Amino acid sequence: PYLEDDSAALQAVLDGQGVALGRSRLIARDLAAGLMLAPFAVRLTASYAYHFVAPPEAWDDPAVRQVRDWLAQEFRQEEGAAQSTAP
């Protein structure tokens, strides 16, 4: 399911019901506590950031890995496109 409310989406991650993109300020405590994992060391420069997070026990689930790999590919492509159009 798609959840429009950030809090509900992040609670679903904590409940082991899926993965989400989250803002740093909303997930920092859960990341620090090891309740969520963020796959990328690089954060996008923006006025806000999103992180792909999942419960640690779901991290290597094939479906989670597939979404994680797809997102990484999309971000690399987007970053490459942005760099090629930079002045």
Count of structural domains, the chain: 1
What mean pLDDT do residues 64-75 have? Answer: 88
What is the amino acid identity at position 36?
M
- Its pTM stands at 0.51
How far is it, in rounded angstroms, from Cα 45 to Cα 37?
A: 20
71 within domain boundaries: yes
74 within domain boundaries: yes
1 within domain boundaries: no
The whole-angstrom distance between residue 78's C-alpha and the CA centroid of its chain comes to 16
Per-residue confidence band for 22, with pLDDT thresholds at 50, 70 and 90: confident
37 within domain boundaries: yes
pLDDT digits (tens, 9 = 90+) for 29-55: 999 999 998 877 766 666 666 778 899
Which residue, among 24, 82, 87, 74, has the nearest Cα to 53 in the 3D structure? 24
57 within domain boundaries: yes
pLDDT for residue 87 is more than 70: no
Q: Which domain holds residue 42?
A: 6-84
What is the percent of the chain where pLDDT is above 90? 28
pLDDT for residue 85 is more than 50: no
Q: In the structure encoding, which two tokens stand for residue 57, read together?
A: 């026990």
